[in-house]
Amino acid sequence: MALAYLPAFGSGLGHVSRLSIIARELQLNGFDVRFSSFGEGAKYLREVGFECDTCPEMDVGLTDGKVSLKKTTLGFPSMMASFAKQVRFEMKNMAALKPKVVCNDSRLSSVIAASRKHIPCITMLNQIRIRMPESGLSRVSSIGEETMAELLGRAWALSKEILVPDLAPPYTICEKSISDISSISKKVNYVGFIVKKKEFKNSELAKLRSTFGINCSKVFFAQISGPAGTREGAVRKVIEASKRANGDFSLIISGGVVGGKTEPMKIGNSWYFEWCPIRDELFALADYSIGRGGHSTIAQSLCYGKPMIIIPIEKHSEQIGNGSKVSELGAGICIKAEDLKTKTLLESAEQISSDDKYTKSARKIAEIAENYNGPLNATKAVLSTCD
């Protein structure tokens, strides 16, 4: 049986969760699949039943729950060493496994390894341009960012095709991180959101409302995801806001703790899961969502037609760009991490729930996304590489 080898970025769960959707589709098409990843991503993949090899870890520097330019810069030499180790690891794995195709999510080391091993490679990617929030809008920093984007684009373009798990312009959520990079322009394919939306009967959702004791008209589902160390502060703020809401809305929170308790705990007026096993049900049930600016979280919320309050990780340029685009599309409100206060969160909850323009915009995007069928498009692209 042919093998599809699937290297995935392991910081947070967005990359591994969407690539696992493609893996299931490939299995239905007769492929064996095997992953490589690191950190929480590798742990998640094993927990959902996939074989996953642990590769050397590589990520930006974080301090006090925010991206640190200083720590990232000082750690650059060790990051490059880790990258070289990743390339060697992937070349060794590919030589041993002999995959028919490599489909990676945001793992440039695997693109280079596959190129050297002459194995067809498909890349799933929602960020190339690395923006530096601290640098402001100076001309020098802008030129530097664009130059780096083009150089990185040349490396990513070693892929046979680059699948952007997003809608085509003007609805591209990752627009600020992926658009107008000439070195990848001939390889890019906007396949749509990689989300397997589930349908639920009204009776099922009514039963869920009863389970959580929901008797008000405003229901928020907060899926707080991201690397360990970046979630806890946001979870505390959301819980604090729910305590001060005086029953104006119901709130259910997922803390995104891989391997955490799956039974919800009642905290004040809200319910809290360490790890939520019914995320699809809660997205369907909720009227609105709260989340970080991760691309996969935003995609899932919009596929269910739910407007969002987005709280990007501080100084995380990709998440800030995603949140800004959702705001521009009228499908949500973006709160800067440094502005996150209980009052701000409550005001945003009131604003998004009292003006139906947000819901109308989110539902419009959901209709567009449904016409794409991202999982099917991505799977077809991978299979066509094997022909």
**What element of type H or E holds 361?**
helix 357-372
| pLDDT tens readout for residues 217-230 | 799 999 998 777 77
Establish how many alpha carbons lie within 13 A of residue 225's alpha carbon, considering only the half-sphere containing its beta carbon.
27
pLDDT at 71: 65
Establish how many alpha carbons lie within 13 A of residue 150's alpha carbon, considering only the half-sphere containing its beta carbon.
7
Average pLDDT of span 211-239: 86
Please, what is the Cα angle at 284 between 262 and 29, to 5 degrees? Answer: 80
Contact status, residue 7 vs residue 99, Cβ threshold 8 Å: no
pLDDT at 72: 62
User: Is pTM, for the whole model, over 0.85?
Assistant: yes
Average pLDDT of span 94-115: 98
pLDDT bucket at 282, cuts 50 / 70 / 90: very high
> 256 or 329: which carries more pLDDT confidence?
329
> 343 or 227: which carries more pLDDT confidence?
343
Tokens of 358: 């947000």
Tokens of 177: 């991180």
CA nearest neighbour of 178 among 357, 93, 189:
189
Tokens of 302: 């919009």
CA nearest neighbour of 173 among 195, 155, 154, 151:
195
Exposure string over 263-274, b if 16+ CB within 10 A, otherwise e: ebeeeebbbbbb
Q: Which amino acid is at 176?
A: K
If DSSP codes are grouped into helix, strand and coil, which group holds residue 225? Answer: coil
The rounded distance, in Å, linking the Cα atoms of 59 and 38 is 10
> 139 or 18: which carries more pLDDT confidence?
18
Which neighbouring-strand residues pair with 254? 223, 273
| pLDDT tens readout for residues 150-200 | 999 999 999 999 999 999 999 999 999 999 999 999 999 999 999 999 999
pLDDT higher than 70, residue 62: no
Q: Which amino acid is at 165?
A: P
Tokens of 288: 């609105």
pLDDT bucket at 314, cuts 50 / 70 / 90: confident
CA nearest neighbour of 304 among 327, 318, 287, 320:
287
> 242 or 260: which carries more pLDDT confidence?
260
pLDDT bucket at 68, cuts 50 / 70 / 90: low
> 309 or 232: which carries more pLDDT confidence?
309
> Cis link prior to 170 (omega < 30° from 0)?
yes
The rounded distance, in Å, linking the Cα atoms of 120 and 159 is 7
Longest C-alpha distance within the chain, in Å?
61
pLDDT higher than 90, residue 339: no
If DSSP codes are grouped into helix, strand and coil, which group holds residue 31? Answer: coil
pLDDT at 242: 84
CA distances from 230 to 2, 41, 97 (A): 39, 15, 35
pLDDT higher than 80, residue 139: no
pLDDT at 39: 93
If DSSP codes are grouped into helix, strand and coil, which group holds residue 100? Answer: coil
Average pLDDT over the chain reads 91
DSSP string, 33-46: EEEEE-HHHHHHHH
CA nearest neighbour of 290 among 369, 348, 248, 338:
348
pLDDT at 140: 52
The rounded distance, in Å, linking the Cα atoms of 33 and 350 is 45
Tokens of 80: 């490059």
Average pLDDT of span 56-73: 66
pLDDT higher than 60, residue 206: yes
Tokens of 240: 């604090």
pLDDT bucket at 268, cuts 50 / 70 / 90: confident
Ordered structural domains, the chain, with CATH: 3-195+372-386 (3.40.50.2000), 202-370 (3.40.50.2000)
pLDDT bucket at 88, cuts 50 / 70 / 90: very high
